[in-house]
Amino acid sequence: MITIRHTHEDGTLIYGTSKGDGVYEIVKKWENGNFRYFPSMARQGLACIGLRNSRDQVADRWAINAAVKALRAAGFEAEIEIDDTHRDRAQVLEAKADRLEDRRDALEAKAGRHAGAAAAAHARADQISERFASGQPKIVGHHSQRGYEADQKRMHQAMRKSISENDAAQEVARRASAVGSNMRYSAKPSVTKRRIDNAVNEIKRIERDLAGYTSRHLDHHGNPYFIDKHEPASDDHRERLLARRAQLENQLEYDRAQLEVAKAAGWIEWGPDNVHIGDLVEYWVRGRKRPVLKVNKKTVAVQSDYSWPDKVEFSKILSVECPHEDTIFPATKPASAVPATPPPPSSAPAPRKVEVPAVDVAALAERIEAATLEVPRDLDAFFSTPAVVERVMEAAELERGMTVLEPSAGNGALAKAAAAESCEVHCVERYPKLSARLLDVPGIVGLTTGDFLEVQPDQYPMRFDRVVMNPPFSKGQDIQHVTHALRFLKPGGRLIAVMAAGVLHHTFKTAERFRTLVEERGGRFESLPPDSFAPATSASAVVVVIPAEQWLT
């Protein structure tokens, strides 16, 4: 047996149904009542198919009857149980406040879950992005390209997840903070007054429908041309009107008592008796006061900035300044004037700001942007990692005002570190896309575009105190670049270069001559930790320190 039951405490719900029996597919259609499924009630094991916003409302008999008719036509046994006894207004508001508090707690927990997921995704993206921390580009054709692209894809996915979860967390937190705001707004005296007026008018319409009435339609001469006679309400319509009238009368009693308490506490009810032509009224926007041009029964006409006046309801007036000396507004009544046992105020959840930590995606976004750069295979563009930069700077022993050269600068990791030590830095880079923003860095004062091996010392007005460099490694290019760079040092200067570890043990003549040069100059080799350039490349590397000759060549 399918039962559609309505009470003011639970609303309209369907009992006796189970998942897959076809009931929901029938009643969810608009013509069959427009019933809805409530997952939160299903999780609690409660009846979970019903009408939205039906709690503490008069039964929607049309929807209920339509659903029963459709179910019976489909072969189900269905019955109706309606109890339209309303609950006391104070009890209704208290129950609503409890539900809202539960809702805020649930939303706050949900916001926390989203924030946790955002933080986890952000951490994953941050971990993957360490590969790109030095601005390492993708070297097309190199064996590292495949891993680079895979890491790039995973980082993009984690970033999108982080941003999505963060947006969800902030939105849910905003909703949690707003819980109860409508209920608190509805408890304001001015809103209560409007609700009283609306209820009185609705009761009048109900009385008219219960008694029946005649509508006379007049022509332009004032003579009736059509008379529409409405019979007194009967059957379900009459039952619904009677239930609604009883509910409104209970609401009126509660709201009028609340309004009296507000008046006793100093709230003024504006009306034709205490608002006059010429008064300055504040309405709609705080601080905007305009003179009254006309006073009506329920509204006032107020001077505006345009050719017609604003029409303002008395209940929407915020304050009044009256220049008439003979008019005295009601003053705030003493505490003794407040009723000894006022009705309980409208209970609403106290406002509470719900905040969840937001993830900062700006730095990761910059890494993603940097990670989109592609360079040709022949550039050997393996940029200095932070650990490598630190070792080079330690060996350089820079001092303020020194002149520094970084050949094959790439993205200028070494040059930027030298500039941060208040040095005057010059760079050389053959690939303009890598060095496009180097001159924007304070302290980097020169940039030459081209192959460093084709640059000559006489192109500069000075020789340099330091040369710091991370040249290409393949095919012995590092030895060529370092040997050429020694020509740019001034007497007493020093060169610090990152080189392939093979320079320590290769037996070909160029490597042997280079080791002899380092030894003759009093230089040294320092091994770098394994995988210093990982994950871009697994090549082992060393730092070589070579003092300058004591004369210029």
Q: What is the DSSP string of 84-153?
A: -PPPPHHHHHHHHHHHHHHHHHHHHHHHHHHHHHHHHHHHHHHHHHGGGTT-PPEETTSTTHHHHHHHHH
Q: Which candidate, 464, 553, 542, 441, places its Cα nearest to that of 499?
A: 542
> Quick check: 509 and 535 in contact, CB under 8 A?
no
Per the domain annotation, does 306 fall within a domain?
Answer: no
Per the domain annotation, does 507 fall within a domain?
Answer: yes
167, 134: one domain: yes
Give the pLDDT score at 67.
Answer: 97
Distance CA 357, CA 345 (A): 35
Structure tokens at 42: 């299903």
Provide the phi-psi class of 56: left if phi over 0, else alpha when psi is between -120 and 50, else beta: left
Structure tokens at 511: 């490597």
Residue 233 DSSP label: P
Over 19-30, what HEC string results? CCCCHHHHHCCH
Domain end residue (candidates: 167, 185, 203): 185
Distance CA 444, CA 423 (A): 8
77, 118: one domain: no
38, 25: one domain: yes
Any idea how long the chain is? 553
Domain end residue (candidates: 152, 185, 218): 185
Give the pLDDT score at 432.
Answer: 81
Angle among Cα 514, 486, 426 to the nearest 5 degrees reads: 140
Over 307-344, what HEC string results? CCCEEEEHHHEEEEECCCCCCCCCCCCCHHHCCCCCCC
424, 410: one domain: yes
What 282-289 contacts at long range (C-beta under 8 Å, 24+ apart), as own/partner pairs, is 282/317, 282/318, 282/319, 282/320, 283/310, 283/312, 283/316, 283/317, 283/318, 284/310, 284/312, 284/316, 284/318, 286/318, 289/319, 289/321
Q: Which candidate, 344, 36, 111, 298, places its Cα nearest to that of 193?
A: 298
380, 529: one domain: yes
106, 78: one domain: no
Distance CA 4, CA 79 (A): 6
Structure tokens at 443: 């302290």
Structure tokens at 127: 């971990």
Edge to edge, the sheet with strand 280-283 lists 310-313, 299-302, 289-295, 280-283, 317-321
Q: Which residues of 261-297 are buried (b: 16+ CB within 10 A; e: fewer)?
A: bbbbeebbbbeeebbeeebebebeeeeebbebeebee
Distance CA 239, CA 428 (A): 91
> Quick check: 460 and 488 in contact, CB under 8 A?
yes
79, 150: one domain: no
Domain end residue (candidates: 185, 208, 223): 185
Range of the domain at 40: 2-85
Give the pLDDT score at 335.
Answer: 40
Cβ burial, residue 250 (10 Å; 0-12/13-18/19+): middle
31, 74: one domain: yes
Distance CA 113, CA 176 (A): 14
Give the pLDDT score at 328.
Answer: 44
Pairing of strands 403-406, 464-469: parallel
Give, rounded to a whole angstrom, the gap between the first and last alpha carbons of the chain: 106
Per the domain annotation, does 287 fall within a domain?
Answer: no
Give the pLDDT score at 403.
Answer: 96
Per the domain annotation, does 356 fall within a domain?
Answer: no
Q: How many domains does the chain have?
A: 3
Structure tokens at 360: 């900062």
Per the domain annotation, does 16 fall within a domain?
Answer: yes
Whether the bond into 309 is cis, omega within 30 of 0: no
Beta strands in 348-410 (DSSP E): 374-375, 403-406
174, 68: one domain: no
43, 151: one domain: no
Distance CA 495, CA 502 (A): 19
Per the domain annotation, does 220 fall within a domain?
Answer: no
Low-confidence ranges of the chain (pLDDT < 70): 130-145, 324-347, 364, 366-381, 534-538, 550-553
Give the pLDDT score at 107.
Answer: 92
Neighbouring C-beta atoms of residue 487, cutoff 10 Å:
16
179, 37: one domain: no
Q: What is the CA radius of gyration of the chain?
A: 41
Give the pLDDT score at 529.
Answer: 87
Give the pLDDT score at 373.
Answer: 62
Per the domain annotation, does 211 fall within a domain?
Answer: no
Distance CA 511, CA 424 (A): 32
Is 193 strand, coil or helix?
Answer: helix
Per the domain annotation, does 317 fall within a domain?
Answer: no
381, 427: one domain: yes
